[in-house]
Amino acid sequence: MSTTELPARHAELMDGVYRWQRHIYDLTRKYYLLGRDRLISGLDVPAGGTMLELGCGTGRNIVLAARRYPDARFFGLDISAEMLETAMAAIAREGLSGRVKLARGDATDFDAKALFSVESFDRIFVSYSLSMIPGWEKTISAALAALSAGGSLHVVDFGQQEALPGWFRTLLRGWLRKFHVEPRESLRDVLESESERIGASLRFRTLYRGYAWLAVVGSRR
Ligand SMILES: C[S@@+](CC[C@H](N)C(=O)[O-])C[C@H]1O[C@@H](n2cnc3c(N)ncnc32)[C@H](O)[C@@H]1O
């Protein structure tokens, strides 16, 4: 596993959040990090292709994607050493260590060549991490810069619960704040302007009455 320079306070905060949570993370999050499996089934990773997850956490998504796309190579980046420990164990348990490489790094500013010895990726995805990353907009531009020609960036995260009752939204927001999670109200706007900037297409979907948002930016470079 490789590491580059990190924003130390945020890295410490994430390690603090996940030091114990990581042991129950996959079990508990399956009930409320909705849309992740839909994202994985839409990745359509080309045979022999490469895929990077930014903020890979416990490796749950990479394991499922690696099973679904058996010819591809997978890369995962996370700022939390605690989460990466769980991810490495999961990947070894699944016998995927030969096809998966993990690195500790900051999703807003990473050097894929230094971390993974790979210049660019066919697919990059960010699942429920933008809502925890300070300066998350930079993660979107960094991901687009790391896409191969014709590649795509896939994002799933909390929406604004726009068609759900106000009380639900208030309860959810209060609870998410305890974990330093903040749904990004301007996610769609930022994806639109970034897609326009690089001449890419954008598909943006609202899931479960705005509980979650799912987006795909398809690069045409
Ligand atoms: C809610 S978890 C999502 C994990 C996984 N993507 C999933 O869908 O289960 C958010 C992850 O983002 C990571 N993270 C937060 N800020 C980050 C940053 N600046 N760079 C890389 N990873 C970061 C956290 O350590 C954590 O593992």
Question: ∠ CA(97), CA(102), CA(103), 5° rounding?
Answer: 150
CB 185 within 8 A of CB 159: no
Residue 32's pLDDT is: 83
Name the percent of the chain lying above pLDDT 90. Answer: 90
CA 169 to chain centre: 23
Establish whether residue 59 lines the binding site of ligand 1, counting it when its CB lies within 6 angstroms of any ligand atom.
no
Q: Which atom of ligand 1 is nearest to the CA of 107?
A: 20
pLDDT of residue 221: 54
| 162-181 pLDDT, tens digit each | 999 999 999 999 999 999 99
Confidence tier at 30 by pLDDT (50, 70, 90)? confident
Bridge partners (DSSP) of residue 122 are none
Residue 221 is assigned to a structural domain of this protein: no
**Whole-number average pLDDT of the chain:** 94
Taking only the tens place, the pLDDT of each residue in 71-97 is 999 999 999 999 999 999 999 999 999
Q: Is any ligand 1 atom within 6 A of the Cβ of residue 127? A: yes
Which residue, 119, 198, 190, 185, is CA-closest to 157?
185
Q: Which of 1, 10, 14 to mutate to test the pocket of ligand 1 (most atoms within 8 A of CB)?
A: 14
The pLDDT confidence band at residue 28, using thresholds 50, 70 and 90, is confident
Q: Which residues contact 141 (CB under 8 A, 6 or more apart)?
A: 194
β-strand partners of 153: 124, 217
Domain containing 114 equals: 3-216
For the Cβ of 84 lying below 6 angstroms from any atom of ligand 1, the answer is: no
Question: Does 151 sit in the ligand 1 pocket, CB within 6 Å?
Answer: no
Q: Please tell me the distance between residue 78's alpha carbon and the centre of ligand 1 in angstroms.
A: 6
Kindly tell me if the per-residue pLDDT of 220 is higher than 80. no
pLDDT of residue 149: 94
Rounded Cα distance between 72 and 49, Å, is 5
Using DSSP, state whether 105 is helix, strand or coil: coil
Q: Is the pLDDT of residue 196 over 70?
A: yes
* Predicted pLDDT of residue 4: 59
In this predicted model, what pLDDT tens digit does every residue of 87-124 receive, in sequence order? 999 999 999 999 999 999 999 999 999 999 999 999 99
Residue 155 lies in a domain: yes
Is 23 within a domain?
yes
Tell me how many domains the chain contains.
Answer: 1
In a domain, 81, yes or no: yes
Helix ranges (DSSP H) in 30-108 = 36-41, 60-68, 81-93
DSSP per residue, 138-171: HHHHHHHHTEEEEEEEEEEEE---TTS-HHHHHH
CA atoms within 13 A on the CB side of 141: 11
Judge contact between 104 and 79, C-beta under 8 A: yes
Sign of CA dihedral 68, 50, 135, 215: negative
Q: How far apart are CA 100 and CA 59, in angstroms?
A: 10
Of the candidates 162, 129, 96, the one whose C-alpha atom is nearest the C-alpha of residue 29 is 129
- CATH code, 26: 3.40.50.150
